Amino acid sequence: MTYKLFYSPGSAAMAAHAMMIEMGVKAAFVLIDNEKNEQKSATYMKLNPHGRVPTLIYDDNRVMYESAAICEFLTERHPEAKLAPAIGHADRGLYLQWMAYLTNTVQEALMHWWHNEYFVDGAAEQAKVKAKAEERLGKMWAFLDGELAKSGPYLCGSTWYACDYFLAMLIRWTRKMPTPGHTYPHLNKLVRAAMARPAYAQMLKDEGIEQPV
Ligand SMILES: N[C@@H](CCC(=O)N[C@@H](CS)C(=O)NCC(=O)O)C(=O)O
């Protein structure tokens, strides 16, 4: 089985990228330079009509996008990596809950902070969207930190899963915020745990990025 993952440094591809390294799959990691707007090139838009990264090619010519879906798909194809609880496993409900919450709530709030121009026109209105996103994200980090304090150290307890990689990725996206996610003690431990995994450390190196802790 070989794969091609289209990524930009520090993008929503980070979690899948680290997982593919951890799984030891045969893969080509193809750089799409968002700074040069390559994600909107005609060639790339044929693969991903939304012009975003990541995109995964598998089985030679099958194409899929959406980072959380890619992570799920990889865990299904490579169960031996144990990056998701098996179907029917007691952790499975919680695992699915976190994957959905992280991608449809936390990631979406992060989009409002980074790309408020997608939501409203005008600098004053955009500043309001950004401020509201920051307020909402603060509540989410406090909530997640509390959950990890109660039943961590990882999202589903004592086993590290894809959702933890996903959370570590989203926390990196807060590095320019006044109160970044990694300043919460239990989220900090989770980021440190991610960075202690050789695959995550390798992904950061390969993407040429750092993650503050
Ligand atoms: N829901 C998508 C969002 C992907 C996304 O927002 N990708 C960003 C980088 S983190 C991107 O490619 N943005 C470029 C653009 O919107 O032009 C996913 O999770 O895969």
Shared domain check, 67 and 10:
yes
> In the prediction, which pLDDT does 159 show?
98
Shared domain check, 184 and 107:
yes
In the predicted model, what is the mean pLDDT of the chain?
A: 97
- Please tell me the distance between residue 54's alpha carbon and the centre of ligand 1 in angstroms: 7
> In the prediction, which pLDDT does 161 show?
98
- Please tell me the distance between residue 12's alpha carbon and the centre of ligand 1 in angstroms: 6
| Boundary (domain end) residue, out of 81, 108, 125 | 81
pLDDT tens for 174-198 read 999 999 999 999 999 999 999 999 9
**pLDDT at 110 exceeding the cut of 90:** yes
> In the prediction, which pLDDT does 135 show?
98
Bridge partners of 57?
A: 4, 63
> In the prediction, which pLDDT does 101 show?
98
Shared domain check, 101 and 184:
yes
- Please tell me the distance between residue 52's alpha carbon and the centre of ligand 1 in angstroms: 4
Domain range enclosing 109: 92-196
Pocket of ligand 1 (CB under 6 A): 8, 11-12, 34, 39, 51-54, 65-67
pLDDT tens for 29-68 read 999 999 899 999 999 999 999 999 999 999 989 999 999 9
Which residue has better confidence, 1 or 205?
205
DSSP codes of every residue in 6-69:
EE-TTSTTHHHHHHHHHHT-EEEEEE--GGGTGGGSHHHHHH-TT--S-EEEETTTEEEE-HHH
Does a structural domain hold residue 109? yes
pLDDT tens for 92-102 read 999 999 999 99
